[in-house]
Amino acid sequence: MKKKIVMIALATLATASVGAQSAYDATHLANRDLNGTARFVGMGGAMGALGGDISTIGTNPAGIGVYRSNDAMLTLGFSSIGTESKYDGKTFNSDKNRWSFDNAGFVVSTKIGNQTALRYVNFGFNYQKAKSFYRTTMMEGQLAYSQTDLMANQANIMFQNGYDLWQMGQDNINPYDNNGVGWLAALGFDTGLIETDDDPKNPYYNYGIEPSSNFRSQERGGIDQYDFNIAFNIRDRVYLGFTVGAHDVNYRKSYFYSEKDKGNGDNYNLNSENRIEGIGWNAKLGIIFRPIEESPLRIGLAIHTPIFYSLSYSTSAIMQSNLWFTNDANEEFQEHFEADTYYELYDKDMKREFDLRTPWKYNVSLGYTVGTGLALGAEYEYEDFSSMKFRYPEGDEMGFETQQVKQTSKGVHTFRVGAEYKVDPQFALRLGYNHSSAAYNEDAVKVLSYNSINTDTDFANAKSLSNYTLGIGYRGSQFYADLAYKYSTQKADFYPFAFSDDRPAVTKITNTRSQVLLTLGLRF
């Protein structure tokens, strides 16, 4: 069945270079996990105004100014990561367990004097696993639309921009090394999934698969964060801090998608290996002050600059199809087609460089202590994910990708609360909770430019995230140990692809993570 393709208006925007990333990549990299020391996590991360913990180096740098002694610590973690997918009356579950090295840092505290305005100058360094990408997602079932719709749509937009796949084949031009060619269309054309006719405007149409689909992706890697801090204690009433952070990105995704026509057995599958690597930096400035000298109330304010990333995206893809045809004698026969970008590029992945600027972040916090036995913390944080920008390494803005960010993402509000109660001077109990609103608009879709080398068309519109935490702690004269448990849960609407305003029925996803953290440290 020949199916004419409706054009996606946004995808007709011209791009100066081949597309290699999406708005969903940007949000993926900008998000952060609740992680750090077991004390910090046990209190839900609500320590921005309380300070005195190495993990505040990344939320409110002034928290390091509260220290009055040297400190060195490390944190180990164990996580159980689960994903539940529900589609077409079927439920799929994936559970993975892994150990991790989550945090290590130290603080050097230098006393200036008791009578001077400047009481302490402190220096701190902290390594932290800021983001874990570990997740496996699965779905299968009957779809109302086919991914081949996207292939034909991309081919027609390419054609309107002067890139004709059929003509390139006649001229022996390699489409996979051409900045005007989208890989999804090229793979579909080379494997017989899209064909041509005599339409002068939209000559490409899909083969006509009415699919039963199967999808699986595995995401791995993380973001390592290295923070360097200097903080000041002024009259034991005002604390100032400044942090410079370095960020190391290592994200990997293995993607598999297949469709099969239940009518005649036509089928294909698409595999890709994708990787984003690079580094970034940002700065944070914070203050903690007591508005009333005799009061235990503390107020904290912090501002984080965007993270300025320099990144590379590398990918390779293989598509295989098995299609049935009828010859002149009315006999049916099957042909197998295969296209491999790694082979077509002479045994190498495609690699593209790009820059990303994440949002500004604003943090307000409150801290209150009752005697020496109870500490309470609360925080509010805001960042506008729609303000993120893609740029080429030369400095020019990537207009298509940046526009997509504005259309898919929105501002995120994060609330944190936490409490610590000392049963006696040595033992403490902790409890915390934080909530982050959704970063995606409800109608957000993943749209690829006509010359994108992306072939992983899936996307998930994650909803709000909740973290529930509790912990215990021991403090000796020098040695201390903290243990925390965190349970994270987040729902998402998943789609294997979107076609114009149409998408397959939603797959309901629930992501969960149970994490146990152990921090060991010395204060001296």
The residues with which 286 forms a beta bridge, in sequence order, are: 241, 302
pLDDT the model gives residue 9 = 35
Q: Give every residue of the chain whose pLDDT is below 70, as ranges.
A: 1-20, 500-501
**Domain residue limits at 427:** 9-322+349-523
pTM as predicted: 0.91
How many C-beta atoms lie closer than 10 Å to residue 90's C-beta? 12
Task: Residue 210: give its domain's CATH number.
Answer: 2.40.160.60
At residue 7, φ and ψ (nearest 5 deg) are -80, 145
Kind and range of the H or E run holding 21: none
Number of domains in the chain: 1
pLDDT the model gives residue 209 = 72
Is 1 part of any domain? no
Is 344 part of any domain? no
pLDDT the model gives residue 20 = 67
Is 2 part of any domain? no
Q: Quick one: which of 250, 222, 381, 391 has its CA closest to 308? A: 391
Give the helix ranges, DSSP H, for 301-398: 341-344
pLDDT the model gives residue 328 = 81
CB 524 within 8 A of CB 480: no
Is 95 part of any domain? yes
For residue 268, give both structure tokens: 């294909």
